[in-house]
Amino acid sequence: MKDVLIKIKSTQGLGEQKEKIELDTLGKLKVEEGAVSLSYDESELFGAKVKTLLTVGENTAVMERTGEYKSKLVIKKGERNNCFYSTPHGELVIGIFGEEIKSRFGDRGGEIYLAYTLDSNLQPISKNTVEITVRKAEM
């Protein structure tokens, strides 16, 4: 695994109400044939110890959080999945529909783009986009 600088920009919300979140952090990158894995710390966003492992393959992304808030989101392009999600306000099962999954990586880093919707009891919660830029950490 390589040490990398990770910049995450995410947008979530419905209609006019959108929340934007940005995070710059250090992490680890592993590029294998057909898949990319990123691991990084999201404690700054949650105010609690939270580690994230994001694995992106062709038309599929899995985001698994461990620590004080656990979740495992399976995002498949064109499919809806039920996923477990833990928040500071409690735990719930949510539906997640994958709209778009893109990744492009080279020797010095790359980009990941995810677009998906979340629902609870088939009622929309939010439309989400996540843009991740990964660059080799210069030590």
Single out the residue of 86, 65, 85, 83 nearest to residue 74, CA to CA.
Answer: 83
Report long-range pairs for 96-101 (Cβ below 8 Å, ≥24 apart).
Answer: 98/59, 98/60, 98/61, 101/56, 101/59, 101/60, 101/61, 101/75, 101/77
Rounded mean pLDDT, 48-64: 92
Q: Which residues pair with 29 in a beta bridge?
A: 2, 38
Residue ranges of domains in the chain: 2-136
Residue 89 has pLDDT above 70, yes or no: yes
Digit-coded pLDDT (tens) for 42-53: 766 656 788 999
* pLDDT, greater one: 107 or 114: 114
Per-residue pLDDT for 38 more than 80? yes
Q: For the domain bounded by 2-136, which CATH number is listed?
A: 2.40.128.20
